[in-house]
Structure 1
Amino acid sequence: MPQPHCVWDIRAELGEGPVWSVREQALYFVDIVGQAIHRFHPESGGHASWATPQRPGFVVPASDGTLICGLKDGLYGFDPASGRFTCLVAVERDLPGNRINDGCVDSTGRLWFGTMDDGEATPSGALYSVTRGRGGRLDVLRHDEGYVVTNGPAISPDGTKLYHNNSPAGIIYVFDLAPDGSLSGRRIFARVAEGYPDGVVVDSAGTVWVGAWNGGRVMRFTPDGVELPPVAVPAVNVTKVAFGGPDLRTLYVTTARRNTPPDALARYPQAGGLFSLRVEVPGQASRAFPADGMDGLCDEVKQG
């Protein structure tokens, strides 16, 4: 497999959550600690960045051309044209030490995300899904809990499996995902012995790609959990991948400078950069969240 090369030496403190916008043919990602959303347009080489009012965990495209952003205390609409954030629904405001972390949209348009203890010590995080309710409101349901740091989630190509990480424990879980969005049968998909499993993405063949925090690589697993040769990345903390480009065969990799010792930074001066390489098997096309007509009442989350 080709070696990744740096396409944006942005040196993010905690680069995370890359997602490909089919509509814009551009890659979005966040810097959680740096409190920013970034966009990279590979055809033009153009860059853009926006400051966020709180720590962002993820961004995903919305059907109206805007983005849905998970900030510390809830889900927000974000309009890149104006830079405006609109609160859509509050999440876990009874847990001020928590924040939203990683997220994705499945093939039905359902949004999945996790929360975590920002101090990375208490198992107060949970796994949620979001669907459109009556009148454009968002219905947020809790599916699983007891996580210190959540990462993922990611969905299999046939929509029947959901992968989700308990990162400090080094465990990648897999759930059975029903058509109605319910989860069952949580079990261990894989254990990680070196480094910690970070963001999760599944390609069109069902291969599971996992960033290795403190592991310097992207891990790969077959659908039945057999580990494949990894992709080495010139950074200690490798966070997540996304498949982009017109053919979805360009792999983008986000990394972080946070918690990287000085001697490692000397070896990997582009740590925190955005890397890319070409791969043989394409990813899955990202789905936009159906956002038309959403209000901004920022209702409290329903704990279902």
Structure 2
Amino acid sequence: MSEPELVWDVRAELGEGPVWDAHRRAVWFVDIKGRKLHRYGVDDGARASWDAPDQIGFALPAEDGSLVCGVRGGLRRFDPESGAFALLLPVEEERPQNRLNDGFVAPDGSLWFGSMDDSETVRSGALYRFHQGELTRHDDGYLVTNGPAMSSDGRTLYHNDTVGRRVFAFDHAGGVLTNKRIFAETADGFADGPSVDSEGVLHVALFNGWGVARFSPEGERIGTIRFPVQTVTKAAFGGDDLRDLYCTTAWLNNADKRAVQPTLGGLFRVRVETPGLPQYRVRL
């Protein structure tokens, strides 16, 4: 495993949601509080950014070449050619204090994502699945959600209670969740965005924990990837062999630390031994 390498000193206030786009050979990610969508070209380091219409929690590739974005108030389709964000589906109109935060595409093309109270004071966050035009709420009562992610065999879905420093696991079959339980806890940092590798190891970013925690499929803590900054928000696998771990970071709530951690908010890359799982595309 290599040391974390800074590939873009983008200085995101709340960087989140790195995702590998094999077709474009690029990594997409967002700055939630900065209301920005970013794209990093892995071959030439090309960088591009777009203004989002509101706080943007994730941007995930769809089968038609667009990206499905979780923007406060609903799901939007982003056209990389025009830069336009078009409303796809309103979400949580009855919870205007909420915003969307982190998402994942399952092998069947369904989009799983969470919401949260923007002020982080009310447990109004929920876990959703968007599939074949229908939105289903599967769990509720979160302060800050992150994830979800799915096991390599598709039988377990992980979803994080970030402030509680807990990773929940659900049994998953055909888009139905049962048997919610605590899978792991992260005493050394807040449980931020998760990803799974091809051996079923869960990688959980540690906000204020200086790295990425690694958990076996049984929930045992088996290691930590250490970072030079304290607020890692999500790690996602990319590259031709899926062994490049791209990690977003943030300076949110740590602006006073930037003098000694000048790369807070940057996009990092770590070369790892075990490849990740393929990045699936949203089926619309």
TM-score, length basis structure 1? 0.92
How far the C-alpha of 1:266 sits from its partner, in A, is 2.1
Residue equivalent to 2:261: 268
Query: Using the alignment, how far apart are the partners of 1:231 and 1:268 within structure 2?
Result: 17
Pair 1:204 & 2:198 matched: yes
Pair 1:60 & 2:53 matched: no
Residue equivalent to 2:140: 145
Query: Using the alignment, how far apart are the partners of 2:228 and 2:268 within structure 1?
Result: 9
Query: Using the alignment, how far apart are the partners of 1:261 and 1:269 within structure 2?
Result: 10
How far the C-alpha of 1:3 sits from its partner, in A, is 1.1
| Secondary structure in structure 2 of the residue aligned to 1:53 | coil
Q: Which of 162, 184, 193 is the aligned partner of 1:167?
A: 162
One-letter amino acid of the structure 1 residue matched with residue 144 of structure 2: V
Q: Which of 272, 276, 282 is the aligned partner of 1:283?
A: 276
Query: Using the alignment, how far apart are the partners of 2:229 and 2:90 within structure 1?
Result: 35
How far the C-alpha of 1:261 sits from its partner, in A, is 4.8
Within a 5 Å distance, the mapping from 1:7-22 to structure 2 comes to 7-22=7-22
Query: Using the alignment, how far apart are the partners of 2:124 and 2:105 within structure 1?
Result: 23
**Identity of matched residues, %:** 49
One-letter amino acid of the structure 2 residue matched with residue 214 of structure 1: N
Q: Which of 223, 235, 238 is the aligned partner of 2:232?
A: 238
Query: Using the alignment, how far apart are the partners of 1:232 and 1:100 within structure 2?
Result: 28
Which consecutive segments of 4 or more residues in structure 1 shift more than 2 A? none
Residue equivalent to 1:301: none
Query: Using the alignment, how far apart are the partners of 1:224 and 1:59 within structure 2?
Result: 30
- Indicate the RMSD between aligned Cα atoms, in angstroms: 0.8
**Is this contact kept in 2: 1:208–1:221, CA < 8 A?**
yes
How far the C-alpha of 1:210 sits from its partner, in A, is 0.6
Residue equivalent to 2:119: 119
Pair 1:131 & 2:125 matched: no
One-letter amino acid of the structure 2 residue matched with residue 204 of structure 1: S
Query: Using the alignment, how far apart are the partners of 1:201 and 1:281 within structure 2?
Result: 13
TM-score, length basis structure 2? 0.98
Query: Using the alignment, how far apart are the partners of 1:13 and 1:6 within structure 2?
Result: 16
Pair 1:181 & 2:140 matched: no
Pair 1:219 & 2:219 matched: no
5+ unaligned residues in a row in structure 1: which ranges? 133-137, 292-304
One-letter amino acid of the structure 1 residue matched with residue 152 of structure 2: P
CA-to-partner distance for each residue in 1:120-143, whole Å, 9 max, x for gaps?
0101010000101xxxxx100000
Query: Using the alignment, how far apart are the partners of 1:275 and 1:195 within structure 2?
Result: 19
Query: Using the alignment, how far apart are the partners of 1:141 and 1:265 within structure 2?
Result: 40
Query: Using the alignment, how far apart are the partners of 1:157 and 1:107 within structure 2?
Result: 10
Query: Using the alignment, how far apart are the partners of 1:78 and 1:287 within structure 2?
Result: 17
| Secondary structure in structure 2 of the residue aligned to 1:146 | strand
One-letter amino acid of the structure 1 residue matched with residue 211 of structure 2: R
Residue equivalent to 1:97: 97
Q: Which of 211, 222, 226 is the aligned partner of 1:228?
A: 222
Residue equivalent to 2:79: 79
Query: Using the alignment, how far apart are the partners of 1:148 and 1:229 within structure 2?
Result: 27
Query: Using the alignment, how far apart are the partners of 2:222 and 2:259 within structure 1?
Result: 29
Query: Using the alignment, how far apart are the partners of 1:25 and 1:285 within structure 2?
Result: 13
Residue equivalent to 2:35: 35
CA-to-partner distance for each residue in 1:26-53, whole Å, 9 max, x for gaps?
1000000000000000101100000000
| Secondary structure in structure 2 of the residue aligned to 1:290 | coil
How far the C-alpha of 1:23 sits from its partner, in A, is 1.2
Query: Using the alignment, how far apart are the partners of 1:120 and 1:169 within structure 2?
Result: 12
Query: Using the alignment, how far apart are the partners of 2:49 and 2:228 within structure 1?
Result: 23
Q: Report how many residues are paired.
A: 284
Query: Using the alignment, how far apart are the partners of 1:57 and 1:96 within structure 2?
Result: 15
5+ unaligned residues in a row in structure 2: which ranges? none
One-letter amino acid of the structure 1 residue matched with residue 62 of structure 2: A
Query: Using the alignment, how far apart are the partners of 1:193 and 1:159 within structure 2?
Result: 27
